[in-house]
Amino acid sequence: MNRGEIPQANDALGETLRQLRMSGVFYCRSEFSKPWGLVLPPMSGALMFHIVISGGCFLEIGEGKSRVLRAGDMALLPKGEGHRLLSSPGIEAAPLFDLPREAVSDRYEILRHGGGGEETLMICGAVNFEDLVAGHFLEALPDFIHVDSWTALEMDWLQSTLRLMGREARELRPGGETIIARLSDILVVQAIRSWLANDPEARTGWLGALRDPALGIVLSKVHRDPGYDWTVETMAQQGSLSRSVFAARFSESVGQTPMQYVTNWRVRVACRWLRDTDLSLVEIAQRLGYRSVAAFGRAFKRVRGISPGALRKLPTASFVD
């Protein structure tokens, strides 16, 4: 891409959803029989999900937050918050990693737990998203999403999908774990789409800005080319708005000024490059549009409270995108 070119973008929200390419931490076929209870620990940076194939359970997050999950329901925890799955409220729950599990592959396992009564079959998992925009998207989602009311059109393919997943889960045919993983990924994205379409919260903040025809275009272009010579004027031009109208609408929707957002996004990209590449600080500064390493360092430290060189020397766990 030439330095003066700004990449084209159209549907910003759709483009973001296309970036939800998942790399599984694990998928698990969970066979429960009453009475049973399971404690799942927090998993920072991962989206955790539960798909109820048959039966049902209670999902508890913290104190006093309980949801009933029935066959066909799906629960997402986009920020990987710890929680409990219970056959009935008040049941004693065992920590997940204290229970024996059968490893089918390096990413798929089977968990059997309970007292032998009425059965519940679930597909559970935790997935990561490598793309930076996808990670930022997850941060904008609520801590918990419960999808229990699918549209009539969705119900047709959902029921077919759940039947296929249930068959693969029970029969363990060759390649079954791969099919379950792929179908789980599709259901996760569909559940997020369903929440975006129906929840008023999805029309506010950064997510609301993605839906805005003018702001969405600008956000997509900043994400695609953070090193472009962005100013409030150039962003307003891309959104076909006056400078004052654009600046006011952007700040109100996103909660940051346009240039604060550009700086924060550049720092987020820099953190990923510091973690995953051998690019020098000079190369990173140049690619992100800074005229000097010193200017880059000042902006970075203002956002992260530490210099980029010092951050690079810390353990990988210190790199929070």
- How confident is the model over 118-137, as pLDDT tens digits? 999 998 989 887 778 888 88
Tokens 């000079």: give the residue. Answer: 282
Q: Are residues 226 and 265 in the same domain?
A: yes
- 275 by Cβ neighbours in 10 Å (0-12 / 13-18 / 19+) ranks as middle
Amino acid at 35: P
Neighbours of 20 (CB within 10 A): 19
Cis omega (within 30 of 0) for bond into 95: no
Domain total for the chain? 2
Q: What is the pLDDT of residue 320?
A: 57
Tokens of 171: 């029969």
Burial pattern 73-84, b for ≥16 Cβ within 10 A else e, equals: bbbbbbbbbebb
Q: Does residue 8 fall inside a structural domain?
A: no
Q: Does residue 7 fall inside a structural domain?
A: no
Q: Are residues 71 and 118 in the same domain?
A: yes
Range of the domain at 286: 206-318
Q: Are residues 191 and 215 in the same domain?
A: no
Q: What is the pLDDT of residue 151?
A: 65
Q: Are residues 214 and 196 in the same domain?
A: no
CATH, residue 130 = 2.60.120.280
Q: Of 202, 228, 245, which closes a domain? A: 202
Q: Are residues 59 and 126 in the same domain?
A: yes
Q: Does residue 6 fall inside a structural domain?
A: no
Q: What is the DSSP string of 213-253?
A: HHHHHHHHHHHH-TTS---HHHHHHHTTS-HHHHHHHHHHH
Q: Does residue 237 fall inside a structural domain?
A: yes
Residue 112 has pLDDT above 90, yes or no: yes
Q: Are residues 256 and 165 in the same domain?
A: no
Residue range 146-159: mean pLDDT, rounded? 73
For 150-154, 159-163, 307-311, which range has the lowest pLDDT when averaged over its residues?
150-154
> How do beta strands 37-40 and 94-95 pair?
parallel
Q: Does residue 4 fall inside a structural domain?
A: no
Q: Are residues 90 and 164 in the same domain?
A: yes
> How do beta strands 22-33 and 37-40 pair?
unpaired
Max avg pLDDT among 49-53, 63-67, 241-245: 241-245
User: Distances in Å between the alpha carbon of 62 and those of 59, 66, 69?
Assistant: 10, 9, 17
| Residue pLDDT, tens place only, 63-94 | 768 899 999 888 999 999 999 999 999 899 99
| Residue pLDDT, tens place only, 8-46 | 444 788 777 777 777 767 888 899 999 999 999 999 888
Residue 173 has pLDDT above 80, yes or no: no
Q: What is the pLDDT of residue 2?
A: 38
Residue range 132-151: mean pLDDT, rounded? 84
CATH, residue 218 = 1.10.10.60
Sign of the C-alpha dihedral, residues 32, 62, 24, 191? positive
Average pLDDT for the chain: 87
**Contact present, 78 and 146 (Cβ < 8 Å):** no
Residue 95 confidence class, pLDDT cut points 50, 70, 90? very high
Q: What is the pLDDT of residue 316?
A: 66
Q: Are residues 24 and 150 in the same domain?
A: yes
Q: Are residues 176 and 268 in the same domain?
A: no
Q: Are residues 174 and 158 in the same domain?
A: yes
User: Distances in Å between the alpha carbon of 46 and those of 31, 190, 215, 234, 275?
Assistant: 23, 17, 28, 35, 18
What is the rounded distance in angstroms from the CA atom of residue 321 to the CA atom of residue 314? 14
More confident residue, 23 or 116: 116
Residue range 300-317: mean pLDDT, rounded? 89
